[in-house]
Amino acid sequence: MPEGILGRKVGMTQYFDRQGEARPVTIIEAGPCLVIQVKTQENDGYQAVQLGFGHAKRLNSPQKGHLKKLGQFRYLREFRVGDVSQYKVGQRLGAELFQAGDLVDITGISKGRGFAGAMRRHGFRSGPRTHGQSDRHRAPGSIGSGTAPGRVLKGLKMAGHMGDARVTVRKLRVLESNPATGILVVEGAVPGARNGLLAIKRPSIAAKKKD
């Protein structure tokens, strides 16, 4: 079984469980994904399957040759597998990989917010609005000393481009899986806007050990 598949964010809504409690959930169209390539330890040095998802309007010649008349896919992503013998090119994978109660890690591209100041981007508090400081209360303040080190250190929290970054939300619970429609109902919010590409994965071993 691959560690995950690709999907599309449909949107958010409410889900009422058996106890009658309303839970905020995200609806995800999980697949269908097509196995484009099977990578083996002997040929590639690792075991993985490459999945295709989404429809592309046009492809260039190298892409057409790689897909070998399997279809016109917009996204190609690789997922590790333990046993590649279970997969073959052209095989379809979808929401049946996950069951209600499973925990998943979901990766997407967060919404772009454009250029943002330090207060909005990093949650800085404002400066004092007194003693003649009428136009500096949203400024970031000092960014370093002039003598030592005499430069601005890398990674300093400053104003800049906010959002439009790869974000992973870990251990969200699957409340419902419908292989017939390819729909997953996942508790909580996931990154990205509607129709955004998502990678739905099983929690990694490293994350489990860390917890």
The pLDDT of residue 206 is 43
Q: Are residue 112 and residue 184 in the same domain, yes or no?
A: yes
- Per-residue pLDDT tens over the stretch 91-134: 899 888 899 989 999 999 999 999 999 999 999 998 888 888 88
Coil vs helix vs strand at 94: coil
Q: Are residue 209 and residue 196 in the same domain, yes or no?
A: yes
CATH number, domain containing residue 52 = 3.30.160.810
Number of domains in the chain: 2
Q: Is 198 exposed, middle or buried (0-12, 13-18, 19+ CB in 10 A)?
A: buried
Alpha-carbon distance of 58 to 1, in angstroms, equals 31
Q: Are residue 53 and residue 107 in the same domain, yes or no?
A: no
Q: Can you give the residue range of the structural domain that contains 69? A: 33-93
Tokens of 107: 């990766």
pLDDT-flagged residues of the chain (< 50)? 205-206
Q: Which residues contact 133 (CB under 8 A, 6 or more apart)?
A: 127
Is residue 15 within 8 A of residue 176, CB to CB? The reply is yes
Domain for residue 146, yes or no? no
Q: Are residue 45 and residue 68 in the same domain, yes or no?
A: yes
The pLDDT of residue 134 is 81
b/e string for 40-60 if b means 16 or more Cβ within 10 A? Answer: eeeeeeebbbbbbbeeeeeee
Q: Are residue 40 and residue 77 in the same domain, yes or no?
A: yes
Q: Are residue 199 and residue 117 in the same domain, yes or no?
A: yes
Q: Are residue 88 and residue 101 in the same domain, yes or no?
A: no
pTM score of the predicted model: 0.80
In DSSP terms, 107 is beta-bridged to: 168, 199
The pLDDT of residue 210 is 53
Q: Are residue 205 and residue 186 in the same domain, yes or no?
A: yes
Q: Are residue 6 and residue 75 in the same domain, yes or no?
A: no
Q: Are residue 103 and residue 80 in the same domain, yes or no?
A: no
Domain for residue 140, yes or no? no
The pLDDT of residue 142 is 86
Q: Are residue 15 and residue 83 in the same domain, yes or no?
A: no
The pLDDT of residue 154 is 92
Domain for residue 172, yes or no? yes
